[in-house]
């Protein structure tokens, strides 16, 4: 187990290093001058030069790369070129929105998808299965921003139950926690439904496959009730592909939610990256992308560990 983890760790470090090289060089090739973007159309050449020096953009490429890499190793992600605050603070602020949002959305989608998937698998080929999977198909096909707008018009504009968007911050009282949570309800639902649709389909097909296995017949022959066989034996064995998809979905939910963040004007990670790219705030883009690479690696590791929990055979081996 330890050797296995160590090997995984070495791979992770190598991946991070290669990613840092790719991210840095891609962004350097990108046309656009951050100083010019800050100072606009009327800027004089000497003001531009002064700002470039202030931003450190006049130094050679290799020196900047090494500085950045060295900084990251010691936990210093540098300072944003446009916002004059440290990158790590910007990321922390955004994670306060993106992380809870991703967590709520993933929980919602799991709560919906797994029962629906198992239920459809148990009634394979029957009307209930067709209806459930038809709905899932619609869920996959409907664009989430359209669905989000629909929710806004119904629940915010007409019924006025929740705000149409924005995020008030978590605050320090229960009342403000609740306000913050309220602001995340509609975005979480609009993110969760398409994910749930995908997850339900995966759960169904994995369960259907498992239900055809010999051990299921053995369990039934032993006299176990069908319900128990379904939930204890079939679902557990079907969990491996489901966990894989959930890991991918969580990584996506952390940073790939720019469209939903725009519809609800939430200050999440996706918008930070988008803004930083259009402002050519390279240091922020580089820092955030590296953190995301790291979190994807971490999520995959967690998923791997979860595999060994659901499937004890994986524990000893490798």
Residues forming the site for other proteins (CB under 8 A): 30-33, 36-44, 46-47, 50-51, 54, 82-85, 90, 93-94, 97, 149, 152-153, 156-157, 160, 163-167, 169, 262-268, 271-272, 275, 278-280
Report, in Å, the least distance between residue 147 CB and other proteins: 13
Report, in Å, the least distance between residue 271 CB and other proteins: 6
> Between 51 and 297, whose beta carbon lies closer to other proteins?
51
> Between 2 and 84, whose beta carbon lies closer to other proteins?
84
> Between 34 and 247, whose beta carbon lies closer to other proteins?
34
Residues near 76 by beta carbon (within 8 Å), at least 6 away in sequence: 86, 88
How far apart (Å, rounded) are the C-alpha atoms in residues 305 and 300?
Answer: 9
Are 186 and 148 within 8 A, CB to CB? yes
Q: How many CA atoms lie within 13 A of 112 on its CB side?
A: 23
Q: Is 223 left (phi over 0), alpha (psi -120 to 50) or beta?
A: left
> Between 4 and 83, whose beta carbon lies closer to other proteins?
83
- One-letter-per-residue 3-state SS of 121-167: HHCCCCHHHHHHHHHHHHHHHCCHHHHHHHHHHHHHHHCCCCCCCCC
* Structure token digits, residue 106: 């993933």
At residue 175, φ and ψ (nearest 5 deg) are: -60, -40
Report, in Å, the least distance between residue 142 CB and other proteins: 16
Report, in Å, the least distance between residue 27 CB and other proteins: 11
Report, in Å, the least distance between residue 80 CB and other proteins: 9
Report, in Å, the least distance between residue 156 CB and other proteins: 5
> Between 32 and 134, whose beta carbon lies closer to other proteins?
32
> Between 4 and 170, whose beta carbon lies closer to other proteins?
170
Q: Give the burial string for 184-209 (b: 16+ CB within 10 Å, else e).
A: bbbbbbbbbbbbbbbbbbbbbbbbbe
């Amino acid at each position: 187990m330890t050797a296995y983890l160590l090997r995984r760790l070495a791979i992770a470090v190598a991946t991070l290093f290669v990613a840092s090289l790719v991210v840095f060089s891609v962004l350097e090739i990108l046309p656009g001058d951050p100083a010019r973007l800050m100072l606009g159309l009327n800027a004089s050449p000497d003001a531009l030069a002064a700002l470039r020096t202030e931003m450190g953009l006049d130094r050679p490429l290799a020196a900047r790369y090494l500085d950045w890499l060295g900084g990251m190793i010691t936990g210093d992600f540098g300072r944003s070129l446009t916002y004059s605050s440290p990158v790590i603070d910007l990321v922390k602020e955004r994670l306060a929105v993106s992380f809870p949002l991703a967590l709520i959305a993933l929980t919602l989608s799991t709560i919906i998808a797994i029962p629906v998937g198992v239920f459809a698998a148990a009634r394979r080929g029957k009307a209930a299965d067709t209806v459930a999977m038809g709905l899932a198909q619609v869920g996959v096909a409907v664009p989430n921003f359209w669905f989000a707008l629909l929710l806004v018009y119904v629940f915010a504009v007409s019924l006025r139950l929740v705000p149409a968007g924005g995020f008030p911050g978590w605050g320090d009282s229960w009342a403000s926690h609740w306000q913050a949570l309220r602001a995340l309800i509609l975005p979480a639902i609009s993110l969760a439904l398409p994910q749930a649709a995908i997850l339900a389909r995966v759960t169904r097909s994995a369960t259907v496959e498992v239900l055809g296995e010999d051990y299921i017949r053995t369990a039934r022959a032993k006299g176990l009730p069908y319900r128990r066989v379904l939930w204890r034996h079939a679902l557990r064995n079907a969990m491996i592909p489901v966990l894989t998809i959930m890991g991918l979905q969580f990584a996506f939910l952390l940073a790939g939610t720019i469209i939903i963040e725009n519809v609800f004007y939430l200050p999440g990670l996706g918008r930070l990256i988008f803004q930083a790219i259009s402002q050519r705030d390279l240091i922020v883009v580089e820092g955030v992308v590296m953190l995301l690479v790291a979190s994807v690696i971490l999520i995959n590791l967690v998923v791997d560990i979860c595999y060994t929990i659901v499937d004890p055979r994986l524990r000893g081996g490798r």
